[in-house]
Amino acid sequence: MNGPLGSKTWAIAEGYIPANSSVAGRELESHETVCILNCGERDAQVEIAVYFADREPAGPYRFSVPARRTRHVRFNDLTEPEAIPRATDFASVIRADEPVVIQHTRLDSRQPALALMSTVAFPDR
Amino acid sequence: MNGPLGSKTWAIAEGYIPANSSVAGRELESHETVCILNCGERDAQVEIAVYFADREPAGPYRFSVPARRTRHVRFNDLTEPEAIPRATDFASVIRADEPVVIQHTRLDSRQPALALMSTVAFPDR
Amino acid sequence: MNGPLGSKTWAIAEGYIPANSSVAGRELESHETVCILNCGERDAQVEIAVYFADREPAGPYRFSVPARRTRHVRFNDLTEPEAIPRATDFASVIRADEPVVIQHTRLDSRQPALALMSTVAFPDR
Amino acid sequence: MNGPLGSKTWAIAEGYIPANSSVAGRELESHETVCILNCGERDAQVEIAVYFADREPAGPYRFSVPARRTRHVRFNDLTEPEAIPRATDFASVIRADEPVVIQHTRLDSRQPALALMSTVAFPDR
């Protein structure tokens, strides 16, 4: 059940971290997530560039996803080289040095009843 | 981290702007959005044609997405050559003169608890 | 802004019509929709086969989508050759004689706050 | 209306079974589902591997999807060789010996108003 799967370059044209949450605590806090699956046998080095409407892109945000692991990274948690502003439209390009699979999910809890959305990102291949 | 990514032609078969919202203000108003990412080095000229069930298509709606920028355009805001009717099924085709990546998102706040949906659009390639 | 776009065969592996709705009226009734865009210059004849967990497929359900038009068809409304059962897992294959683009959307209003989901269907190409 | 459709290998980078539900009963319990459509004429043997952030993958989880049938399998229900932990990020790779089509859906009912998300999984082809 092994072997690399996916693409080394992906894009997510949607991005928005709601400015607030109706619920306290990390679990149900409004968040925007990039889910990365590395089902290959080599660790993947990942870089994210974040695009905006009216300024030059931010990043690169760098981290690794070990072989045979998944990481679900919240854009809320990205701080180096700079935090992602809240309530601001953005988009992202994710590049890895090994094939990975990427899915984009948002949990929005600005109102008491949370809302969800998810889509596989756009692969370049 | 540069270079064009995506396709010059995309389609979104779903489209519907809810007729009302339970919340006042632009942020949580019911809306239908096309998110466009241009991560290339040249500005992209974009044209949207809007299709309906029972009349000829509307448009083209024209705007640009600068190099290394994203624009999240609400169908609610398109007025030239004509506004998109509310509570009406539609679909759209987006053409650009540079490769772009497109994602479709709806926020529906007809009821007090908002609902979200999102998907990468269908690329022609 | 014309020209055919899409595929002649699509699949939707998810399908479920909730058995009830918390709201009266067609607009917010729980429904499962297949959105079909025909942006070409020829009318498309469409056939849907519906698959289940424990019986032979139902259908074909036949209708047309005229040139330069979109139709958002609710599975709730399909009755010939038989109605789709509620609260039952299903899936569908959509075949057309012209290229079309297909997106799948569900509105679930079993609870007072509606939920939405949407995805571009899977094209065979 | 027959013939195989899809891919033999798919990935879902997102995965999370909420730890609780605000509603009793199987129908509205928080769940994470993989919907599999086998529209071909031969039964498909399916294997799922589940990937985590900080341990080796679990599985394979094995079952079959008969010819001309769909199965919507909840990750909640997978118990052999081990249950999937709740409130834990995961991802999955699905391999079949016949082409199938796969869609990923979550119903989250941690709060009284449920939330939904769905996307076609990522096919390897």
Q: Give the C-alpha distances (Å, rounded to integers) separating C41 from A125, B1, C45, C65.
A: 30, 40, 13, 11
The tens digit of pLDDT for each residue in C17-54 reads 999 888 888 888 999 999 999 999 999 999 999 999 99
d(CA D22, CA A19): 26
Q: Are residues B109 and B23 in contact, defined by beta-carbon separation less than 8 angstroms?
A: yes
- Cβ within 8 Å of residue C90, ≥6 positions away: C15, C16, C50, C51, C52, C75, C84, D70
Please give the pLDDT value at position B65: 98
pLDDT per residue, tens digit, chain B (125 aa), is 456 799 999 999 999 999 988 888 898 999 999 999 999 999 999 999 999 999 999 999 999 999 999 999 999 999 999 999 999 999 999 999 999 999 999 999 998 888 999 999 999 96
| pLDDT tens by residue, A30-58 | 999 999 999 999 999 999 999 999 999 99
Whether pLDDT at A10 is above 80 = yes
CB-CB under 8 Å, B115 with C115: yes
Taking the Cβ of residue B67 and every Cβ of chain A, the question of whether any pair is shorter than 8 Å is answered with: no
Average per-residue pLDDT in chain D?
94
Q: In angstroms, rounded to a whole number, what is the distance separating the alpha carbons of residues A54 and A59?
A: 15
Q: Please give the structure tokens belonging to residue C18.
A: 């909730």
Strands B44-52 and A115-120: unpaired
Q: Which residues of D touch A117 (CB under 8 A)?
A: 117
Question: Which residue among D71, D72, D117 places its CB closest to the CB of C117?
Answer: D117
Residue A1 has a pLDDT of 45
Banded pLDDT at C14 (limits 50, 70, 90): very high
Question: Is the model more confident about B69 or about A1?
Answer: B69
Dihedral of alpha carbons D124, C103, A106, B70, sign: positive
Task: With a cut of 50, say whether residue C1 has pLDDT above it.
Answer: no
D73 close to C (CB below 8 A): no
Of residues C2 and B16, which shows the higher confidence score?
Answer: B16
Q: C-alpha dihedral over B85, C76, D108, D106, to 10 degrees?
A: -100
As beta bridge partners, residue C116 has C107
- Nearest 5°: phi and psi at D77? -90, -5
Quote the minimal CA–CA distance from C20 to chain D in Å.
Answer: 12
Per-residue pLDDT, C3 = 64
Nearest residue of D to residue C47 by CA position?
D1
Q: Does A73 touch chain D (CB under 8 A)?
A: no
Classify residue B88 as exposed, middle or buried by CB count within 10 Å of its CB (0-12, 13-18, 19+).
middle
Taking contacts as CB-CB distances below 8 angstroms, the residues of chain A near B35 are 13-15, 89, 91
Q: Are D12 and D34 in contact (CB under 8 A)?
A: yes
Q: Is the CB of C119 inside 8 Å of chain A's CB atoms?
A: yes
Residue A59, SS3 per DSSP: strand
Structure tokens at D29: 């319990």
Q: What pLDDT, on the 0 to 100 scale, is given for residue D1?
A: 45
A72-116: pLDDT as tens digits: 999 999 999 999 999 999 999 999 999 999 999 999 999 888 899
Q: What is the DSSP string of A61-78?
A: EEEEE-TTEEEEEEGGG-
CB contact under 8 A, C108 and D119: no
Q: Is the CB of residue D45 less than 8 Å away from at least one CB of chain B?
A: no
H or E, element range at B73: strand B69-74
Host H or E run for residue A108: strand A90-108
Q: Which residue of D has its CA nearest to B119?
A: D119
| C-alpha–C-alpha distance, residues D57 and C114, integer Å | 36
- Span between the terminal Cα atoms of chain C, in Å: 23
Instruction: Give pLDDT, residue C44.
Output: 98
pLDDT score recorded for residue D111: 87
How crowded is residue B57: how many other Cβ atoms within 10 Å of its Cβ?
Answer: 20
Q: How far does the CA of residue A112 sit from the closest CA of chain B (Å)?
A: 7
Task: Compute the average pLDDT of residues C70-95.
Answer: 97
Highest average pLDDT, of A20-29, B85-94, D15-24, comes from: B85-94
Separation of alpha carbons D89 and D87, rounded Å: 7
Q: What is the mean pLDDT of residues D71-94?
A: 97
Helix, strand and coil in chain B, % to nearest 5 = 0, 50, 45
Which chain A positions have a beta carbon within 8 Å of D90's beta carbon?
Answer: 70
| pLDDT in the model for residue C2 | 54
Asked whether the predicted pLDDT for residue C125 surpasses 90, the reply is: no
pTM for the model? 0.96
